[in-house]
A = this chain, B = another copy of it.
Amino acid sequence: MTPPPFSFDLLARQGRARAGVFHTPHGDLPTPVFAPVGTQATVKAVTPAQLHEIGASLVLSNTYHLYLRPGDALVAEMGGLHTFMNWPNPILTDSGGFQVFSLSDTRKIDEDGVTFKSHVDGSMHRFTPEKSIAVQENLGADIIMAFDECAPPHDLAYSQRAMERTHAWLERCQRAKTRPDQALFGIVQGGVFPDLRQRSAEFVASMGLPGCAIGGLSVGETKDEMHRVLETVDPLLPEDKPRYLMGVGTPDDLINGVLRGVDIFDCVLPTRLARHNAALTRTGRLNLVNAGYAQDSSPIDPACGCYTCQHYSRAYLRHLIIAKEMLAATLLSIHNLYTLIQLAREIRQAIIDDKFNGFAEEFLASLTPASREQIGGA
């Protein structure tokens, strides 16, 4: 029997860590999973064929960017985002909220929505919950996100207001939604405040949605604060639905997130680092522009199975960087994405094999203070 759209099968658990499969109209998503970010309907510098080879299953794209350019109506006319960008597997779009709120000087929030100025041409636009859903229905991703407000994490009054607005907007998003082939995820907000996070998780859980997201993290709080938020919301979210930790995804974040019940991660870090000449490893970074790599015939990581590490020396990668060749960004993006996607796969297998606690312990013990700092930020 075919499972209903968007059902989530939990295959194994170890502590709070979960291994599962989320069924979508564009295929099964094994979790835990790391999703590359394709902001403008392309994961920067890599083709979908390369993404497939890397082992990517879910790709994220950004509603704000695609609404402005090329326009969601055009994407719909071209058959939707899957066809347009040639990614036949699951896609997730965000709501546009996070990007719009990031335009701190050129947007105005009211109870109904947000008016903002385009970063592309300065024109004025307005997003409401209904508009965000309409745009996301045009784009046609498998997983769509409720329109939410992400507040500065340590401002209690603002966090409470933003959370209440986020809840009201989630109800409007659910009413506005029409496509049965898209799963709407609600977003838990509430800054670093346990009572707000608790209220928000209970509210989102009560909506009966096919998945829940945890937003407003990796925006200025400490890692310890992030972990406490995850620990607060984890027991309150439905067990039988996937949990998506938005915009978070260093190697240690994957471990720490899965330890606290997270199933889905995304982050621009691997592709952004690649465009800044840095190779991500599980425990740190190599800045390949350094002269010390000029004659280094070893790969980025001798233990890595990616195309880049199988075929290229650090000396060659450094040459490409110094010579300003585009291939540098492509080869580094392949390696960096593979590092996170492969780590998520190993985490999943460890949970299934009932070995994740040891795996996580060993991983976290291997981090030095220096490597923690290196992988800690973008």
Enumerate chain B residues within 8 angstroms of A77, measured Cβ to Cβ: 295, 297
With both beta carbons as reference points, the residue of chain B lying nearest to A79 in the complex is identified as B297
Instruction: Please encode chain A, from 286 to 326, with 1 for each CB lying within 8 Å of some chain B CB and 0 for all others.
Output: 00000000110100000000010001110110111011011
A329 within 8 A of B: yes
A108 within 8 A of B: no
With both beta carbons as reference points, the residue of chain B lying nearest to A311 in the complex is identified as B86
Give residues of chain A (46-65) contacting chain B, Cβ–Cβ below 8 Å: 46-50, 65
Give residues of chain A (9-61) contacting chain B, Cβ–Cβ below 8 Å: 40-42, 44-50
A124 within 8 A of B: no
* Min CB gap A192→B, angstroms: 35
A219 within 8 A of B: no
Q: A316-B84, A326-B44 are in contact. Are A78 and B297 (CB under 8 A)?
A: yes
A330 within 8 A of B: yes
A331 within 8 A of B: yes
A103 within 8 A of B: no
Q: Are A78 and B325 in contact (CB under 8 A)?
A: no
- Measured CB to CB, the residues of A under 8 A from B are 40-42, 44-50, 65, 69-70, 74, 77-79, 84-86, 294-295, 297, 307, 311-313, 315-316, 318-320, 322-323, 325-327, 329-331
A-B contact pairs, 7 of them (CB 8 A): A40-B323, A45-B327, A69-B319, A70-B323, A74-B295, A78-B315, A79-B297
A40-B320, A44-B327 known, 8 other contacts, Cβ within 8 Å: A42-B325, A44-B326, A65-B323, A70-B319, A77-B295, A78-B297, A78-B316, A84-B316
